[in-house]
Amino acid sequence: MLKGFYNSSELDFTIPENKEAMLKAFEQVDKEKGNDYPLIIGGERIMTEEKIFSFSPSTKEQLGAVSSCSQELADRAIRTAHNAFLSWRTTPVEERICCVRRLVELMKQNRFLLDAWSIEESGKNWGEADGELCEALDFFNSYIMHMRELDKGLELMDTDEAVKCIYIPIGVGVAVPPWNFPLSLLAGMVVSAVITGNTIVCKPSSDTPIVAYKFIELCEKAGFPAGVINFIPGSGSVIGDYIVKHPLTRFVNFTGSKEVGLRISRMASEVSEGQKWIKRVVAEMGGKNAIIVDSSADLKRAAAGIANSAFSFQGQKCSACSRAVVLSDVYDAFVEEIAACAKDLQAHQGSGREDLPMGPVINKSAFDRISHYIEIARNEGTIVCGGGFDDSKGFYIEPTVVRDVAKNAVIAKEEIFGPVLAVIRAESFDEALEIANNTEYGLTGSVYTEDRAHIQKAKEEFHVGNLYFNRKSTGAVVLQHPFGGFNMSGTDAKTGTRDYLTNFLNLKSICEDLTY
């Protein structure tokens, strides 16, 4: 069934033409700086008095402003999406797919500009930004393939009656993505909704609204009818609860923190006046991911993989490793290796535009939260590398390695979402597994080992949605490593898969007695 699907390849920025194209895209970003972006409801562009300002985390420079949606306009967006649903739901699947295919082409044509805006707003480096664009393309291509299959309905038993069981769309969805994958996660939410025949109201993160707007503009150009995709940046506290509780909202697709995910889940379970359905919620949330380093592991390889998992994009991936659980007999040797990797990264940190291995964290509030955890770390272990932070020019935090952290320490239990790694000692492989599982989360995990029996044991007992061996815990690739977490990490929706699309579909079983 996967015949014909291929993963998109990331650009090689050592090729001069690619580098030049990227620099040109930054020039274009500079020209566009300071622009004002509207809401888009039913194809209409609406400017509001209230604004959300986007800032570069690398330099603190203001990049532009987007209109901020009120509850009244959010109501209009949901009603508009509801009206658009009445015709979009019966639009043939191949017509919907045509729009998505045009979107794929438009994304490719606008690749450098999308990458550049993503770098500017989120502080990621070039490779991370382009990797994200590839992930978005992979989502689209996988959803095209899955939708064609789903459109055939379920295979049923032969009978004298005419029977079929078909997938039908369910209604208006609300997409609430995070800022850390401002393009791929938002785009995946939008396209999974509309390719299945639903309509969507998208509320981007207030940290990355411009790259979101650029994507929605391409959706319009791709030919999705007005009202099918609506764009309403807004504050979570002003319109967040409102759009979740709205009686015409049929499903909510959320990715973000545990706190907001649980709030959405609670709000969505309450029935509003006039509501005729049980709302569906996809909520992909945080992690406190562990990588186990076994006695038999290649320590250099483990340290390199863990440094990449813990510090790339400044530890701001839900899949990032924030706990290294290391067997006692290799503990000291491993700490030396990981500290050396972190020191090397520390020397290569700068703005997103400089395209270095490490950049800034997203904003002042993240900077304050992470630096607060570093202060806690000083009392909970020994910092062997990093520990410094500086927000004079942008929001920079050094890659920080903390050794001798107890398994129940605060920095071993809470999601920090920054470049801070706790190194925890385990006396046996069984204890290492117990420590790895000892959080409320269950998103990603990895084990570095050459012991087959330990690999087998971890396959059975390491309870995470994405488990890896002898590699980093980040960088899931669509349809190679379907992504989604257990426990408080979320609903395990596994983006990119056929199962994922069924979150947004009903199955209708139809039977006709032919003897009548």
Ligand X SMILES: N[C@@H](CCC=O)C(=O)O
Ligand Y SMILES: NC(=O)c1ccc[n+]([C@@H]2O[C@H](COP(=O)([O-])OP(=O)(O)OC[C@H]3O[C@@H](n4cnc5c(N)ncnc54)[C@H](O)[C@@H]3O)[C@@H](O)[C@H]2O)c1
Reduced to 3 states (helix: H, G, I; strand: E, B; else coil), residue 173 is strand
485 binds, among ligand X, ligand Y, none (CB under 5 to 8 A by kind): ligand Y
Spell 213-232 as b/e; 16+ CB within 10 A means b: bbbbebbbebebbebbbbbb
Kindly state whether residue 107 participates in binding ligand X, applying the rule CB under 6 A. Answer: no
Helices (H) and strands (E) in the chain, counts: 16, 21
Q: Is 20 a catalytic residue?
A: no
- Interface residues for ligand Y in 390-429 (CB under 6 A)? 415, 417
Q: What is the DSSP string of 95-115?
A: HHHHHHHHHHHHHHHTHHHHH
| Binding residue (CB under 6 A) for ligand X from 58, 110, 118, 180 | 180
Q: Specify the residue for token string 């049929």.
A: 250
- The answer to whether 100 touches 222, Cβ cutoff 8 Å, is yes
Nearest to 45 by CA among 220, 187, 211: 220
Kindly state whether residue 130 participates in binding ligand Y, applying the rule CB under 6 A. Answer: no
445 binds, among ligand Y, ligand X, none (CB under 5 to 8 A by kind): none
- The secondary structure of residue 58, as a DSSP letter, is T
| Binding residue (CB under 6 A) for ligand Y from 241, 298, 344, 434 | 241
- The answer to whether 143 touches 484, Cβ cutoff 8 Å, is no
| Interface region with ligand Y, contact rule CB under 6 A, candidates 14-22, 161-169, 255-263, 500-508 | 255-263
Per-residue binding letters, 184-223, with ligand Y (x by CB under 6 A): ---------------------xx-----------------
Kindly state whether residue 289 participates in binding ligand X, applying the rule CB under 6 A. Answer: no
- The answer to whether 501 touches 196, Cβ cutoff 8 Å, is yes
- Interface residues for ligand X in 446-505 (CB under 6 A)? 474-476, 483
- Interface residues for ligand Y in 435-474 (CB under 6 A)? 443
475 binds, among ligand Y, ligand X, none (CB under 5 to 8 A by kind): ligand X
Active-site residue, from 120, 128, 132, 284? 284
Kindly state whether residue 492 participates in binding ligand Y, applying the rule CB under 6 A. Answer: no
| Binding residue (CB under 6 A) for ligand X from 125, 141, 230, 319 | 319
- The answer to whether 198 touches 191, Cβ cutoff 8 Å, is no
Position with the least CB separation from ligand X: 476
| Interface region with ligand X, contact rule CB under 6 A, candidates 157-165, 206-214, 225-233, 316-324 | 316-324
Closer by beta carbon to ligand Y, 30 or else 270 = 270
Q: Give dist(CA 509, CA 516) in Å, integer.
A: 19
CA-CA distances (angstroms) from residue 144 to 170, 172, 228, 410, 473?
18, 20, 17, 44, 28
Residues binding ligand Y (CB under 6 A): 176-181, 205-206, 236, 240-241, 244, 255-257, 260, 263-264, 284-287, 318, 415, 417, 443, 485, 489-490
Catalytic residues: 284
